[in-house]
Amino acid sequence: MQHSSIVGGSTAKRVINCPGSVALVAKMPPKPSSKFADEGTLLHNVIAEIIMSDNPPEHYLGHKYEAQVLTQELIDYKLKPALAALDEIDPNKEMEIEAETSVNFGDLLPGVFGSTDLIGRMGTRAVVLDWKFGDGVAVDVEENPQLMFYAAAAMRTPASAWAFEGVTEIEMVIVQPPAVKRWVTTPKRIAEFELQLVQAVKASEKPDAVLRAGEHCRWCAAKPVCPQMTGAVDRALKTIIDNLDPPTIATYLKNADMLEQWITDLRALALQLLESGAKLPDYKLVAKRAIRSWTSEDKAKVALFAFGLTESEVLETSVISPAKAEKALKKRKQALPDDLVVAISSGNTLASADDPRPEVMLLGKQLTAALSKLN
């Protein structure tokens, strides 16, 4: 699932449309991984092993990647539908298959590489398949730059060229359970795409490489600092709303998602910088609102029963929350003892420097004090 920092399958569309983004992205700090990305990696790793070994999915139950664990639910709702899709594509088990193959462009584009999820061949048709295990945006397969990148690189990689030698058709497949999307193209179209990619990479090396905003900006790491994006925001802020006509408003609405995502990414970048220890003028980290929980559920049950609360009042699926207990005790004109409850923030958030909440560097002392109640 690795790709080069210059351009890869997932970034091909952006680089072709905005060569200048390559240099901007290279200046950005690396984004931390997420549980969703780690879960996707886990599923990719496991399905590759299943395909190449013929082991049943349950054989890998409990396998881990980082903090993510393969559960029966993931097997039932992700892996099994994906494997069923593969059976739909190759019902007679005739396709020669290779999973998780590293591909590159050799001397044509030095340093440009990626990893294909699955390459196959049936007669005179090559197959390039990509698993999409996320529950987010639906991905289209027709003219998909990521799959065309993999096909072009695989055709130039000795270890995977066997799937493309002499073929007349190349089928692109996206499996995003439960959907299976297929598109058949030709080696000629892949060659045309490859030329586009080469031209874009060469253009990206120039100091005046073009920056161009558009749909391809969606996943760009440099969006928070991109002149094209910040310029769009500046222009939007300077526009007098009263002077806007309906067609102009309709045009602006098309950019709304992009601007909203820019704001989200900018805040995420600022939070990432502050959490790494950097200073941001006029901003600081503060603790998120603390949510109260019991220092000990067993002690809480004993105490609440002693105050006269009934079992139905105290127990739900677990002990009721401190807020509910406090409300129930108020009816009896009794107070909830402080030593039964601890309040710990769920994380950090960005705030202006004049925010009355304490800066997050004090959180260590707060956490120590809170945890001392647990002993």
**pLDDT tens digit sequence for 123-156:** 999 999 999 998 777 899 999 999 999 999 999 9
Residue with tokens 């997050």: 360
C-beta separation of 261 from 218 below 8 A: yes
Tell me how far the alpha carbon of residue 75 is from its chain's centroid.
Answer: 20
The residues with which 172 forms a beta bridge, in sequence order, are 128, 183
Instruction: Classify domain 9-204 at the CATH topology level.
Output: Lambda Exonuclease; Chain A (3.90.320)
- pLDDT at residue 280 is higher than 60: yes
Of 154-168, 217-231, 308-322, 325-339, which range is least confident?
Answer: 308-322
Whether the predicted pLDDT of 307 surpasses 80: yes
pTM over 0.75: no
pLDDT band at 30 (very low <50, low <70, confident <90, very high): confident
Cβ contacts of residue 253 below 8 Å, gap of 6+? none
The residue among 106, 123, 102 whose CA lies nearest residue 184 is 123
List Cβ<8 Å contacts ≥24 apart for 63-72.
65/38, 65/39, 65/41, 66/33, 66/38, 66/41, 66/42, 67/35, 67/38, 68/35, 68/38, 68/39, 68/41, 68/42, 69/42, 70/42, 70/43, 70/46
pLDDT score recorded for residue 312:
78
Greater confidence (278 vs 157) lies with 157
Neighbours of 310 (CB within 10 A): 10
Helix axis angle, 35-53 relative to 80-89, nearest 10°?
Answer: 50
Segments of the chain assigned to CATH 3.90.320: 9-204
Cis peptide before 281 (omega within 30 of 0): no
Quote the pLDDT of residue 315: 80
pLDDT band at 363 (very low <50, low <70, confident <90, very high): very low
User: Quick check: 127 and 171 in contact, CB under 8 A?
Assistant: yes
Q: Which residue has the tokens 């690396």?
A: 30
Mean of all residue pLDDT scores within the chain: 85
* Arithmetic mean of pLDDT, 253-270: 78
The conformation of residue 77, written as its DSSP 8-state character, comes to: I
pLDDT band for position 362 (50/70/90)? Answer: very low
The β-bridge partners of 127 are: 120, 171
184-242 pLDDT tens trace: 999 999 999 999 999 999 999 999 999 998 888 888 888 887 888 777 767 666 665 55
